[in-house]
Structure 1
């Protein structure tokens, strides 16, 4: 169904007349037209571009990018865009195909994850991620990262580590400045301030994690998306109910997770705002673990709410982890979750 719908949308857009000689540079008095795929990506782009760009998103709030079905209006959005920012590495594959099929002359598609991380920094396949908190971030050759590409597809969820998001923001700043040099100073000032806020977020996550007993820093999540987070901050991902696709786990897989949780005495398991909770409730009932929700691809609150930001998403996640695993969530209270352009 998704493939056929995408084909129809591509055909509709292909039949629409394209303006010859169109380039990605805005005409005088006009703003760059920018499209972003996921809600967190859109928010990162907004924090750099602010009101100097016309920014629209593709995925509505609360929609799973793995099962997203675009509408004809989405094809129009990407066909009119000068720049299209995606996460990439197959996380928003449907949007990528839509963009490639409808890209106007002179426009550019930017896959942020692929642009900021080399092969030695990516996690490959489905594995247990053993992390450690460190000040240097990702500049070493840690064994925690999967270096063998034969182990499977790379994990695309770099967004859960704010240090990678700083790199995302740098790519956004450089790209916007290249296409709109008149506003470079504005983009650079926003990038510098946003980087400072992301660094403060990183420090708060480290401080909050330090209050959680080390024996409790173990994560069983619905979706296998916290590997980079675990490596950065010293958690261990002991399993995922839905490791690599949208299928439900088998009865045997659920039973194995229950046995593992009972053996390891894990205090909490974590669902996702975008995935059903029935399997988690079944596991919690059998193990006595509490069930909480973490976010990885969707922002908290509604558009316009102060917490409806990437930083707001991470603050909510850390509060949830600390409250569930025996830590002090109050250490996240001082983190500024607002958008940089809104505070000017």
Structure 2
């Protein structure tokens, strides 16, 4: 009897040990995310099955980022390279040419309906990678510099678009790691439920803001999709690119427009120099309402450590500055 018990215990330990080490035995999917928002999406979908390297980290500006040798090494070894697309990543062309990746480049804005950016203010020319989702990098292909043209690349500022990013990530992970597909799909579905709840919260908060108080000012034009989706109006002197420098005439034009439109609040951004916004605040008499997170998350101990935290922070700052609550 004692031998039987010992045998049963031994078998149970072997069985449990086998289940415990199975995830560790499978190699992690090596994923590179171009900037912090995409990195957060990828973590929520991939869970423990993926190893994620994020190129442009917290409070980083993808418009002006200069790739490092470590970035090229990570891209060269990656199974998947997740990028925004729509020429958002100004550094991407150089990085792809330097690293010559063998992995798949996945453009997460596939399926997004692009919107035009506002042309009130000038913007600087940037370069980007003009690839298609799911296509391997062609080492012999010559990339050309591109500007944004008429397209706003900040699609992630709309939560319905964030759902598209997440679905595209899940599809890419499933294609690269079929054994983990059920896990990826399950994780994506759970995260999309959270995004749905967040979207409802955003709409409820904005419904409390009177229509005549829904104009705000930010540093650069990163909130076009937010405006399009939720009904706020954003004015920005720097256009789409943080590298652009508005002229004195541009600033004067914005100040005049702010006075005409009776803007209710003005905000700094985590990735831009606050001097311009402070100047506009002085000239218009509008108090700076706080900091919005546009193209990057905050560090882990900040108010926007995740995409969901970022959107919560932004609507809380906007609503608080306008309504005083």
- TM-score (normalised: structure 1): 0.75
* Counterpart in the other structure of 2:39: 42
Report if the CA contact (8 A) 1:267-1:290 is conserved. no
Measure how far apart 1:101 and its partner are: 4.3
Taking a change above 3 Å as real, the CA distance of residues 198 and 35 of structure 1, as seen in their structure-2 partners, is: same
1:303 aligns with 2:300: yes
In the other structure, the counterpart of 2:169 is 172
Matched, 1:116 2:111: yes
2:184 to 183, 187, 201: 187
How far does residue 236 in structure 1 lie from its aligned partner after superposition?
Answer: 2.1
How far is the alpha carbon of 1:152 from its aligned partner? Answer: 3.0
> Which secondary structure does the structure 1 equivalent of 2:31 belong to?
strand
Residue aligned with 1:37, SS: strand
The residue matched to 2:219 in structure 1 has which SS?
Answer: strand
Cα offset for 1:317?
Answer: 0.3
Partners of 2:303 and 2:116 in 1: CA distance: 35
Residue 196 (1) aligns with residue 188 (2): no
Contiguous gaps of at least 5 residues in structure 2: 1-23, 121-147
| Alignment-derived partner of residue 316 in structure 1 | 313
1:244 alignment partner, one of 225, 236, 240: 240
Question: 1:42, CA displacement in angstroms?
Answer: 0.3
Q: How big is the shift at 1:327?
A: 6.9
Q: Does structure 2 retain, via aligned residues, the 8 Å contact 1:213–1:325?
A: no
CA distance in 1, matches of 2:254, 2:318: 20
The answer for the alignment partner of 1:278 in structure 2 is: 275
Partner of 1:73: 70
Paired residues for 1:97-246 under 5 Å? 97-105=94-102, 107-113=103-109, 115-117=110-112, 121-127=113-119, 152-237=149-234, 239-245=235-241, 246=243
Distance 1:190 1:30 in 2: 19
Q: Higher mean Cα deviation, 94-103 or 189-198?
A: 94-103
Aligned counterpart for 1:94 among listed residues 57, 79, 91: 91
Aligned residues: 273
**SS of residue in 2 equivalent to 1:58:** strand
Q: Does 1:293 align with 2:270?
A: no
Counterpart in 2 of 1:59? 56
Secondary structure of 2:245's aligned partner: coil
TM-score under structure 2 normalisation? Answer: 0.79
Give 1:305 shift: 6.5
1:99–1:109: 8 Å Cα contact kept in structure 2? no
Q: Say if 1:38 and 1:58, in contact at 8 Å, map to a contact too.
A: yes
Which residues of structure 1 form unaligned runs of 5+?
Answer: 1-26, 129-150, 329-344
Q: Looking at CA atoms only, which structure, 1 or 2, has the larger radius of gyration?
A: 2
Per-residue CA shift, 1:241-296, capped at 9, x if unaligned?
A: 10133122111111121122222322211221110111111111121112132111
Distance 1:304 1:219, change over 3 A: closer
2:216–2:264 Cα contact (<8 Å) kept? no
Q: RMSD in angstroms over aligned alpha carbons?
A: 2.0
CA distance in 2, matches of 1:280, 1:37: 27
